[in-house]
Amino acid sequence: MKKYLAGEVTDLLFYCPPNKRSETDLSDDLQTRLAAAETRLNTLAARPIRRATQAQALGRRVIALQGRLAAASITREQMRDELRRTRETLAACELSQRALEDCTTHLRRQVGILEGRLTDMQSELDRSALRTQRQLDRSDAERDKFRMRAHQAETCLADTSAGLNPG
């Protein structure tokens, strides 16, 4: 009977279910095991002195479980703090990303406006260049016409001079 009870207590203390997945589940499992061990400790403490050795061993195991439970609680709190900080960082990054997207949209609109202005200015410059070229062509044509008239006048003058001054 003594050996059976010791094995049962050991099983209670060191059994870790394979399907536990999170720190919360582990903490809950440790609390359940701690409660069972404390109940068994109280039962053993009430029995005769020959069970005192088992009670002391169980007491040490209860203390060890309490330490593991405290460590699991601290780890859980640290994980919660880390999760909170991560969520805050994520929210800040999302806010920053939205601000960058808004700036990008604004800059794209401004680029579109500037491109429109550039197109308008290029069209105006092309029209102005065409007008200037036409004016230059007219001026060149008038100059050529005046040169031709001047040449004709010089030729006529030379012919008239030659006819008046024979010789």
* Amino acid 47: pLDDT: 59
Distances (CA, A) of 38 to 12, 55, 157: 11, 10, 141
Structural domain total, the chain: 1
Residue 167 lies in a domain: no
* Amino acid 21: pLDDT: 52
- Degrees (nearest 5) of the Cα angle 127, 128, 132? 120
Residue 156 lies in a domain: yes
> pLDDT tens for residues 121-147?
999 999 999 999 999 999 999 999 999
**Reported pTM:** 0.44
Residue 90 lies in a domain: yes
Residue 88 lies in a domain: yes
Could you list the residue range(s) of the whole structural domain that residue 113 is in?
2-162
What is the rounded CA–CA span in Å between residue 61 and residue 51? 15
